[in-house]
Amino acid sequence: DMPAGQDIAVSATSGTRPVSKDSVINLDHGDPTMFESFWRWMGDRGSIVIPAWQTMSYFSDVTNVCWFLEPEFGQEVRRLHNLIGNAVTEDRYIVVGTGSTQLFQAALYALSPSNAFEPINVVSAAPYYSSYPAVTGYLRSGLFRWAGDAYTYKGDKYIELVCSPNNPDGSIREAVLNSEAGKTIHDLAYYWPQYTPISSPADHDIMLFTVSKSTGHAGTRLGWAIVKDKDVAKKMVKFIELNTIGVSKDSQLRAAKILKVVSDGYELPNTENTSKLFDYGRRLMTMRWEKLREAVKASGIFSLPEFPSSTCRFTGERTGTNPAFAWLKCEKEGIEDCESFLRSYGMLTRSGRHFGVEPNYVRVSMLDRDETFELFVERLSSVN
Ligand code: PMP
């Protein structure tokens, strides 16, 4: 996701490597550059060539509810979910979006009653992903409005956003509200085996996924929604039609190829271990979390959430949880604003304030490049 907006972020390690040992380290956003090394290793296997005469039409498949969905992309999405077992896709509609950020807005549009006197309330349990209030509110819609923490919400009409595993704290979540008239959107951006054991195929009304966090291709700006109800899917498609008249076909073809390479890594015979994305991701994330916990211990003034381990249905092994973000709490007396405290040591993180909680918490990205991550743990361990 995007920086919360400090100017200093521009000169720090955003999208680049640290220039020196003293570089400001930017772990404020969740830029998944960690996966670059895997795709470099894969060489040309994920490359595509698009001749100039291709992908010119607005339309992809006029017989599909989502008429701008490239059939290859839809097929690879279903194939990958079947392989991983993290979501039900049979008899479901796939809607493609410019990132899951666009699909989240399409889902709000689709779930809002069109004839209400007042905007519908949009809630999520704190700490919630900082983009939810920002994206819900920025156009001051007459259809929906941000209403804060779901735990304290009173009322039976609402749209609840359920992010699981949760950004920022990595917790496994279910909806906290359960009114008949309430609607839910499940944001499953991190429900992939590199981050968490896969417990069962998710089967909710609207589920959002993105290549940003699954394969690391945030710049391709491609997400997909798995939708149960045809009318809801149609309204989401209508939103995207009004918003951007569809979604880049070039991006869809590229993403289709990338998802294909990921599935091939597991399904083709005799593929080497180094071409298995989720194994690579899990190994790296496990190592990083170990290093982070060591650094936190060495420093002595922070704490991190603990996670239970369980059996992953994809790997068949008992595995731990390695979230894409560290939800770091500053326990040092007198330090109320952990973000400013860490900034004074040249580390940019995102304050708990943006997630609806106290500023003694910060969120730190675990998905940056090795050099940046190493510099971060080294610097963090010496903070006291
Ligand atoms: N949902 C969550 C929970 C996220 O963390 C992010 C990215 N930070 C997104 C959605 C947005 O993903 P995309 O890049 O597909 O718009």
Name the phi and psi angles at 304, rounded to 5.
-130, 155
Q: Count CB-CB contacts under 10 A for residue 14.
A: 15
Q: What is the DSSP string of 61-83?
A: -TTSSSTT--HHHHHHHHHHHHH
- Rounded to whole angstroms, the Cα distance separating 261 from 280 reads 14
Render pLDDT for 250-300 as a digit per residue (tens, 0 to 9).
999 999 999 999 999 999 987 788 899 999 999 999 999 999 999 999 999
To test the pocket of ligand 1, the residue of 100, 190, 211, 366 to mutate (highest count of ligand atoms within 8 Å of its CB) is 100
Q: Which domains does the chain have, with CATH numbers?
A: 8-40+274-381 (3.90.1150.10), 53-266 (3.40.640.10)
Contacts of 258 (CB under 8 A, 6+ apart): 46, 211, 215, 217, 220
pLDDT cut 70: percent of the chain above it: 96
Is the shortest distance between the CB of 223 and ligand 1 below 6 Å? yes
Atom of ligand 1 nearest to the CA of 167: 3
Is the shortest distance between the CB of 76 and ligand 1 below 6 Å? no
pTM recorded for the entire structure: 0.96
Q: Structure tokens of 321?
A: 């949880």
Contacts of 316 (CB under 8 A, 6+ apart): none
Residue 88 has pLDDT above 90, yes or no: yes
Alpha helices in the chain (DSSP H): 8-11, 36-41, 71-84, 99-111, 131-137, 211-214, 230-244, 249-267, 277-299, 338-343, 370-381
Is the shortest distance between the CB of 100 and ligand 1 below 6 Å? yes
Q: Structure tokens of 257?
A: 């190829």
From residue 345, alpha-carbon distances to 65, 334, 382 in Å are 52, 17, 10
Which letter does DSSP use for residue 302 in this model?
Answer: E
- Rounded to whole angstroms, the Cα distance separating 185 from 58 reads 28
- Rounded to whole angstroms, the Cα distance separating 68 from 99 reads 14
ipTM entry: 0.99
Tell me which residue has tokens 């054991």: 197
Cβ contact 236:251 at 8 Å: no
Q: Count CB-CB contacts under 10 A for residue 55.
A: 15
Residue 235 has pLDDT above 60, yes or no: yes
Which letter does DSSP use for residue 218 in this model?
Answer: G
Atom of ligand 1 nearest to the CA of 102: 16
6 confidence band (pLDDT: 50, 70, 90): very low
Residue 10 has pLDDT above 60, yes or no: no
Per-residue pLDDT, 7: 45
Cα of 103 from ligand 1 centre, angstroms:
10
